[in-house]
């Protein structure tokens, strides 16, 4: 709850800053005209933080997104990565407790969706996603799906679209620590597979000429595991191509191993380059 309140406060502060910067001439025009290149647009994000002294930590995250929309196609591609190190207490070979900087998060995911438009609002979409997470509920998970998409609202400031359809998912749950002859050993779990229902809701709203809000909700629900992910981000343009973005992500798995939390959250502050 404290993390949610903090993220909300930061989003509000960033929105206020964007409203004050609304008259900046450098951000009044788009970085490029999508019509000039077949409807393609893209952005890259990068964030890094480190601390040394009484405590040590290093955090890095990066994102790359490409999208295309024209009279025939509505396509999206993405690649994300997260890696974090923190100071933890471990026992060395002599039995002494010492603090060491060790990896505490290592995750990457990639995906794509290809949509063929039936008319200006509806389209048939095929999608694929793969994720690897060394510290998550599942070591890896992959899904392919086909479905129907509909653009419910599209104006100069607002866009709302939905996607829904069946899919096939395979995943391997995280290893389980078990004692073998008095020693903790990580036991590999069997790979699972199931039919799932996939849903996607994407909402975009431009608050001002400089400030934009985007929220994406992904649902992958099956009989064994239900996976939900929500990403909300608020970006403030500094120039026509550079922006500052605050993001808040929530990921949920219904079926997890003992000792593993169902929900993961992530707050990011990134520099964005639009192209």
Question: Which residues share a beta bridge with 165?
Answer: 198
Name the pLDDT band for 24 (thresholds 50, 70, 90). Answer: very low
For residue 2, is pLDDT > 60? Answer: no
For residue 196, count other CB atoms closer than 10 A to its CB: 21
Q: How far apart are CA 70 and CA 58, in angstroms?
A: 41
Residues above pLDDT 70, as percent of the chain:
84
Question: Is 32 inside any structural domain?
Answer: no
DSSP state of 110: E
Cβ burial, residue 252 (10 Å; 0-12/13-18/19+)? middle
Question: Is 152 inside any structural domain?
Answer: yes
| Cα–Cα–Cα angle for 9, 58, 172, rounded to 5 degrees | 90
Taking the mean position of all CA atoms in its chain, how far away is CA 253?
A: 15
For residue 182, is pLDDT > 80? Answer: no
Work out the end-to-end distance of the chain between its first and last CA atoms, rounded to an integer number of angstroms: 36
- Asked if residues 66 and 45 have their Cβ atoms less than 8 Å apart, the reply is no
Residue 181 Cα distances to 62, 189, 218, 258, 262, angstroms: 42, 20, 43, 21, 30
Q: What number is the average pLDDT over the span 23-50?
A: 70
Q: How far apart are CA 265 and CA 250, in angstroms?
A: 5
Tell me the two tokens of residue 219. 């649902």
Question: Is 167 inside any structural domain?
Answer: yes
Question: Is 79 inside any structural domain?
Answer: yes
Q: Give the model confidence (pLDDT) of 73-127 as tens digits.
A: 999 999 999 999 887 776 666 767 777 778 888 999 999 999 999 999 999 999 9
Domain, as residue range, for 248: 2-22+45-235+242-274
**Extended strands (E) in the chain:** 40-51, 57-69, 73-91, 97-117, 122-133, 138-154, 158-173, 176-180, 183-187, 192-206, 211-222, 226-237, 242-253, 263-274
* HEC string for 80-109: EEEEEEEEEEEECCCCCEEEEEEEEEEEEE
Question: Is 264 inside any structural domain?
Answer: yes
Question: Is 50 inside any structural domain?
Answer: yes
Q: CATH code at 223?
A: 2.40.160.20
Question: Is 105 inside any structural domain?
Answer: yes
For residue 137, is pLDDT > 60? Answer: yes
pTM (two decimals):
0.81
Q: Give the model confidence (pLDDT) of 162-172 as tens digits.
A: 999 999 999 99
For residue 29, is pLDDT > 60? Answer: no
Question: Is 15 inside any structural domain?
Answer: yes
| pLDDT score, position 13 | 43
Question: How many domains are there within the chain?
Answer: 1
Question: Which residues share a beta bridge with 172?
Answer: 140
SS3 of 14, please?
helix
Q: How far apart are CA 90 and CA 134, in angstroms?
A: 19
Torsion 178-182-185-190 (CA) sign? negative
| pLDDT score, position 35 | 59
Q: How far apart are CA 42 and CA 47, in angstroms?
A: 17
Q: Give the model confidence (pLDDT) of 195-204 as tens digits.
A: 999 999 999 9
């Amino acid at each position: 709850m404290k993390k949610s309140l903090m993220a909300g406060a930061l989003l509000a502060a960033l929105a206020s800053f964007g409203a004050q910067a609304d008259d900046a001439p450098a951000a009044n025009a788009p970085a490029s005209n999508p019509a000039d290149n077949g409807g393609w647009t893209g952005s890259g994000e990068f964030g890094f933080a480190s601390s040394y002294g009484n405590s040590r930590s290093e955090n890095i995250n990066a994102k790359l997104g490409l999208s295309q929309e024209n009279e025939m196609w509505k396509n999206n591609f993405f690649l994300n990565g997260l890696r974090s190190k923190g100071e933890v207490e471990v026992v060395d070979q002599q039995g002494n407790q010492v603090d060491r900087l060790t990896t505490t998060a290592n995750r990457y995911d990639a995906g794509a969706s290809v949509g063929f438009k039936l008319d200006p609002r509806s389209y048939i979409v095929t999608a694929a996603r793969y994720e690897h997470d060394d510290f998550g509920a599942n070591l890896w998970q992959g899904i392919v799906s086909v479905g129907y998409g509909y653009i419910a609202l599209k104006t100069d400031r607002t866009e709302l679209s939905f996607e829904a359809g069946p899919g096939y998912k395979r995943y391997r749950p995280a290893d389980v620590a078990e004692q073998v002859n008095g020693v903790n050993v990580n036991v590999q779990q069997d790979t699972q597979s199931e039919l799932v229902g996939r849903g996607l809701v994407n909402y975009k709203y431009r608050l001002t000429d400089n400030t934009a809000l985007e929220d994406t909700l992904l649902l992958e629900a099956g009989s064994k595991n239900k996976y939900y992910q929500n990403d909300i981000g608020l970006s403030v343009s500094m120039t026509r191509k550079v922006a500052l973005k605050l993001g808040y992500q929530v990921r949920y798995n219904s079926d997890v191993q003992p000792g593993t939390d169902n929900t993961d959250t992530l707050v990011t502050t990134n520099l964005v380059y639009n192209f």
